[in-house]
């Protein structure tokens, strides 16, 4: 049997009215003081601070959240005293928070997670974005827009149209994944031999230069200029259409240097006409530099530089003065020279820092290991035609 306590019985306390309870409450509790564990909370009590309205939730009273699985209590956020406007999460209460079980809305084309690519908010021109993605050159993209092969958000694209991260671009009905980040372009240096055509498709079935290049996972290789079927030498490739347009556009006037072997020698009058200007079928043309390199027998070598890239321009200029070119080899394109150790049919990739300098971009930030790799000699590759 349980033993009764020896304490005397106390008479029951009378319940105070609500008005008396508010008057008897400690004033420190309404001034932001620490409330006792068992003290009740009165929602109708008048605040005593002038800035107490800042603490009022504009969304009204919250509904109690459902209990967690396992009965674990929800973690409490630390309470910060002082001015609530300085609260590090004060902007969230002003903007509102999603309800329980509701995810915040995301913009179209913007993925989440820490591995998601950083996107720019400023829109860019359609042909520039597609060219940077390696889809094609700017000139080709403009032709595709006119032909109606490109659509933006389900509507036909227009020349000069700007797009942003939330736009969906399709080429021939296929969605193009776009990244609005500045990526370092890739540049290949290829020693083209005679007997290859600079084209992806040839009706005659001749071998093409693209059959020897490495395969890209995204985008495609763009040839910077062209070389004739019987012309060898330096040929550049890049996956950046903006860079390809910069290297090929006539307004930049990048010099091309060729080693030319002809049957016979040039006279002073012929040299003067070739350097001052000669009339061709498609307009006047001239060499910026013409230097004699000597030769043996009937063959003679010359070095010439030209700032244009018209079809068979060098050969046609020598034919205009009555001489035949027996061999033509490009040895320099702008600031890029053909390496002596790069033999015919071989290619090498330009270091990232040099590719950025060629495109006019700031050099990438590299670690020590990457710096050591860049100091090593560039690997030469020889691939069999596919």
Residue 233 is part of which domain span?
187-249+339-359
The helix (H) or strand (E) run that includes residue 248 is helix 241-248
Residues 273 and 131 in one domain: no
H helices of 204-304, in order, are 241-248, 268-276
Please state, for a pLDDT cut of 90, what percent of the chain lies above it: 38
Q: Quick one: pLDDT at residue 8?
A: 57
Q: Is 200 inside a domain boundary?
A: yes
Per-position b or e across 235-255, b if 16+ CB within 10 A of its CB: bbbbbbbbbbbbbbeeeeebe
Answer yes or no: are the C-beta atoms of 350 and 188 closer than 8 Å. Answer: yes
User: pLDDT of 195-206, one tens digit each?
Assistant: 999 998 888 889
For residue 23, what are its two tokens? 């008057």
Answer yes or no: are the C-beta atoms of 286 and 276 closer than 8 Å. Answer: yes
Q: Is 228 a catalytic residue?
A: yes
Question: Which of the residue ranges 58-72, 84-98, 174-188, 224-238 has the most confident prediction, judged by mean pLDDT?
Answer: 224-238
Q: Which residue has the higher pLDDT, 5 or 321?
A: 321
Residues 218 and 349 in one domain: yes
Residues 326 and 343 in one domain: no
Q: Count structural domains, the chain.
A: 3
Q: Is 320 inside a domain boundary?
A: yes
Residues 241 and 349 in one domain: yes
Q: Is 382 inside a domain boundary?
A: no
Q: Quick one: pLDDT at residue 227?
A: 93
Residues 242 and 344 in one domain: yes
Q: What is the mean pLDDT of the chain?
A: 76
User: pLDDT of 44-93, one tens digit each?
Assistant: 445 555 555 445 554 555 556 666 555 555 556 555 455 444 444 444 43
Tell me the mean pLDDT in the region 304-310: 90
Residue indicated by tokens 């027996």:
326
Q: Quick one: pLDDT at residue 272?
A: 93
Q: Which of 114, 141, 175 is the last residue of a domain?
A: 175
Q: Is 313 inside a domain boundary?
A: yes
- 28: confidence class by pLDDT, cuts 50, 70, 90: low
Residues 221 and 277 in one domain: no
Q: Quick one: pLDDT at residue 69?
A: 58
Residues 231 and 298 in one domain: no
Q: Which of 295, 318, 333 is the last residue of a domain?
A: 333
Q: What is the DSSP letter of 22?
A: H
Distance spanning both ends of the chain, measured CA to CA? 99
Point out the catalytic residue in the list 24, 44, 228, 242: 228
Residues 219 and 237 in one domain: yes
User: pLDDT of 93-104, one tens digit each?
Assistant: 333 444 444 443
Q: Is 274 inside a domain boundary?
A: yes
Q: Quick one: pLDDT at residue 288?
A: 94
Look up the CATH number of the domain holding residue 167: 3.10.290.10
The tally of CA atoms less than 13 A away on the side-chain side of residue 127 is 17
Task: Say yes or no to pLDDT of 116 above 80.
Answer: no
Q: Is 59 inside a domain boundary?
A: no
Q: Which residue has the higher pLDDT, 377 or 323?
A: 323
Residues 149 and 278 in one domain: no
Answer yes or no: are the C-beta atoms of 88 and 120 closer than 8 Å. Answer: no
Task: Say yes or no to pLDDT of 214 above 70.
Answer: yes
Q: Quick one: pLDDT at residue 146?
A: 93
Q: Quick one: pLDDT at residue 105?
A: 40
Residues 166 and 207 in one domain: no
Residues 132 and 281 in one domain: no
Q: Is 281 inside a domain boundary?
A: yes
Residues 194 and 148 in one domain: no
- Report phi then psi at 357, rounded to 5: -65, -35
Q: Quick one: pLDDT at residue 177?
A: 84
Tell me the mean pLDDT in the region 260-285: 92
How far is the C-alpha of 243 from the C-alpha of 249, rounded, in Å? 10
Look up the CATH number of the domain holding residue 212: 3.30.2350.10
For residue 316, what are its two tokens? 């046609």
Q: Is 64 inside a domain boundary?
A: no
């Amino acid at each position: 049997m349980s033993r009764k306590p020896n304490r005397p019985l106390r008479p029951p306390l009378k319940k105070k009215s609500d008005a008396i309870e508010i008057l008897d409450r400690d004033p420190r509790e309404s001034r932001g003081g620490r409330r006792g564990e068992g003290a009740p909370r009165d929602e109708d009590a008048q605040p005593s601070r002038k800035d107490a309205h800042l603490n009022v939730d504009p969304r009204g009273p919250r509904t109690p959240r459902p209990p967690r699985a396992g009965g674990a209590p929800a973690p409490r956020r630390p309470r910060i005293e002082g001015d609530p406007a300085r609260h590090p999460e004060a902007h969230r209460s002003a903007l509102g928070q999603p309800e329980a079980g509701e995810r915040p809305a995301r913009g179209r084309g913007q993925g989440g997670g820490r591995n998601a690519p950083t996107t720019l908010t400023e829109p860019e021109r359609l042909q520039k974005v597609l060219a940077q993605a390696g889809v094609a050159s700017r000139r080709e993209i403009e032709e595709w827009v006119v032909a109606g092969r490109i659509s933006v958000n389900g509507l036909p694209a227009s020349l000069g149209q700007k797009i942003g991260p939330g736009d969906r671009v399709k080429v021939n009905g296929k969605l193009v994944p776009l990244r609005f980040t500045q990526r370092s372009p890739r540049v290949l240096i290829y020693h083209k031999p005679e007997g290859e055509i600079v084209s992806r498709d040839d009706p005659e079935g001749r071998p093409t230069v693209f059959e020897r290049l490495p395969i890209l996972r995204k985008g495609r290789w763009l040839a910077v200029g062209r070389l004739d079927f019987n012309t060898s030498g330096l040929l550049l490739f890049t996956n950046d259409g903006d860079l390809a347009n910069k290297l090929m556009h006539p307004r930049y006037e990048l010099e091309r240097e060729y080693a030319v072997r002809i049957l016979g020698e040039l006279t002073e009058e012929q040299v003067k006409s070739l350097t001052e200007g000669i009339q061709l079928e498609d307009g006047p043309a001239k060499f910026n530099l013409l230097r004699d390199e000597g030769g043996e027998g009937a063959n003679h070598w010359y070095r010439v530089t030209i700032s244009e890239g018209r079809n068979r321009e060098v050969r046609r200029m020598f034919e205009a003065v009555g001489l035949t070119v027996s061999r033509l080899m490009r040895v320099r394109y702008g600031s890029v020279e053909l390496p002596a150790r790069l033999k015919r049919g071989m290619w090498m990739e330009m270091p990232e820092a040099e590719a950025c300098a060629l495109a006019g971009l700031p050099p990438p930030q590299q670690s020590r290991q990457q710096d050591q790799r860049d100091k090593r000699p560039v690997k030469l590759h020889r691939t069999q035609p596919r």
